[in-house]
Amino acid sequence: MALLTIENLCARVGDKEILKDFSLTINPGEVHVIMGPNGSGKSTLANVIAGHPAYEVTGGRLMFKDRDVLKMTPDERANIGIFLAFQSPTELPGVGSALFLKTALNAKRQAAGEKDIDAVSFMRRLRPRATALGITDDMLKRALNVGFSGGEKKRMEMLQMAFLEPDFCMLDEIDSGLDIDALHTVSQAVNIMRESHRSFLLITHFQRLLNDITPDYIHIMMDGRIVKTGDKTLAATLEEKGYDIYR
């Protein structure tokens, strides 16, 4: 059974049609990459799957674990395993990072009929993941993303992913604004989490993200739909020839 099935999905912002009959199937354990020029609809796709209220879905189907996602609120989608690491994570003044993580995990546990996590188990779950991503105790004490550098914000997104352990992880330009070491750290976070039941959708402009992560499929997106699908070698072709040959 496919983890995620998108059929002829159409979505718009205001009067502007962005996704146009977009279709894609992702099976458990697969890593898909979407590349495409600016404005082709990559981030819109991720936001529509996550349920961003600014986007209106005007047609098509979106099924996750055989459930109709389009009828669900963003929190319901998250709690059945959909996760989006944002391109530009929002700053939340006054909301402590650690408390936020605990609230999010407990929301997921409550949705699954489990009881809230206790303080000891919470720290035991958080600490090794934070350490692996180079996130200090000081960062966890601060308000979420407030005053964080671009790289720190991206690593905090990865921490949330590692901490919440979703089944479907979308990473929207996680490589933008990262130096080489941070990029390697983020790639490792993805590789460590690769499992037979978990799938990834990576949105990127650059082949360099794929130096450490080997995808199963690369899709080229143009004008709201996929125009070409290939294996990992497609990224190198793109890097060499650009998008023009697919226009």
Note the residues at the interface with another protein (CB under 8 A). Answer: 50-54, 73-75, 77-79, 83-84, 86, 89-90, 92-95, 100, 103-104, 107-108, 111, 143, 160, 164
Secondary structure (3-state) at 64: strand
| Closest to 160 in 3D by CA, of 191, 186, 197 | 186
The residue among 76 and 212 lying less far from another protein, judged by its C-beta, is 76
d(CA 148, CA 136) in angstroms, rounded, equals 12
Contact by Cβ (8 Å): 33, 238: no
Nearer to another protein, 75 or 239 (CB): 75
Output the CA torsion sign for 116, 104, 193, 62.
positive
**CA count, 13 A, side-chain hemisphere, 31:** 19
What's the min distance (Å) between Cβ of 28 and another protein? 20
The minimum distance between CB 211 and another protein, in angstroms, equals 28
Looking at the Cβ atoms of 24 and 78, the one nearer to another protein is 78
User: How far apart are CB 92 and another protein at their closest, in Å?
Assistant: 6
CB of 227 to another protein, least distance (A): 28
Nearer to another protein, 75 or 181 (CB): 75
Q: How far is the CB of 106 from another protein (least distance, A)?
A: 9
Nearer to another protein, 111 or 192 (CB): 111
Tell me which DSSP letter residue 144 carries.
T
Half-sphere exposure of 85 (CA within 13 A, CB side): 33
